A and B are shown apart, each in its own frame.
Chain A
Amino acid sequence: DGGITQSPKYLFRKEGQNVTLSCEQNLNHDAMYWYRQDPGQGLRLIYYSQIVNDFQKGDIAEGYSVSREKKESFPLTVTSAQKNPTAFYLCASSPDGYEQYFGPGTRLTVT
């Protein structure tokens, strides 16, 4: 089955801790993206990567970091510098840089 997986579905952390969200795809897509969604709001782009070993900041990259060492994987680290990390995080991939397909998301709660 081809698709995008994000784990875990729910994640709880204490304030001050870094946390890494997983995103894996077996669609052979070059481009991958991370979005944040707050309750009742739209999507905001955190980081994106068009090719392995390269990534760019999106609109709200502060307090986040990513890596793209493998085509299939694009993990997102939410650092303690992110002031309001509690949110729904969505990962996506794209075959051509335009059309995007999404994973099921991870709901992060930081207390």
Chain B
Amino acid sequence: AQKVTQAQTEISVVEKEDVTLDCVYETRDTTYYLFWYKQPPSGELVFLIRRNSFDEQNEISGRYSWNFQKSTSSFNFTITASQVVDSAVYFCALSEESNYQLIWGAGTKLIIKP
């Protein structure tokens, strides 16, 4: 069965620290897609990244980077030099090619203190 685990319920760091949010997934499909979304206090979910199962290349976008490792079924998200505006709940999600639904992790609440 498919599943997404975000073991970190809440993380609190001081501004400018680096922080990594963990995401572990389970799937039997060989083709699948992984996502990260940000939910700031306003509530709207913001799409951050999509990674296809056949592309293990890591991604960097400004202060954000993603480490996809099929060997450990993980898709971790790192924020470098965190800022207060990064405070939000971050969700990891999985979609299998055979199933047009997103399987959501429980989310990690990230608190960046000034």
Checking A45, A94, A99, A105 against B44 with a beta-carbon cut-off of 8 angstroms, the contacting residue is: A105
Between A42, A104, A107, the greatest number of chain B beta carbons within 10 A of the residue's beta carbon is seen for A42
- Residue of A41, A42, A101, A104 near B43 (CB, 8 A) is A104
Q: Does A97 contact B43, Cβ atoms closer than 8 Å?
A: no
Q: Does B11 contact A (CB under 8 A)?
A: no
Interface size on A, as a range, is 20 to 34
Report B-chain residues with C-beta under 8 Å of the C-beta of A98: 33, 50, 95, 100, 102
> Does A58 contact B101, Cβ atoms closer than 8 Å?
yes
Question: Which residue of chain B is the closest to A107 with respect to CB atoms?
Answer: B43
Within 8 Å of chain B (Cβ to Cβ): is A31? yes
Q: Which residues in B have their C-beta under 8 angstroms from that of A99?
A: 33, 35, 47, 50, 95
CB distance from A7 to the nearest CB of B (A): 14
Q: B88 → chain A, closest Cβ, in Å?
A: 13
> Within the complex, which residue of B35, B44, B101 is in contact with A103, where a contact is CB–CB below 8 Å?
B44
Are B104's CB and A43's CB within 8 A? Answer: yes
Complex Cα–Cα for A31 and B105 (A): 21
List residues of A whose CB falls within 8 A of some B CB.
31, 41-43, 45, 48, 50, 58, 88, 90, 92, 94, 97-105, 107
- 26 CB < 8 A contacts A-B: A41-B106, A42-B91, A42-B104, A42-B106, A43-B91, A45-B101, A45-B102, A88-B43, A90-B44, A94-B100, A97-B100, A98-B50, A98-B95, A98-B102, A99-B33, A99-B35, A99-B95, A100-B47, A100-B102, A101-B47, A102-B44, A102-B46, A102-B47, A104-B42, A104-B43, A105-B44
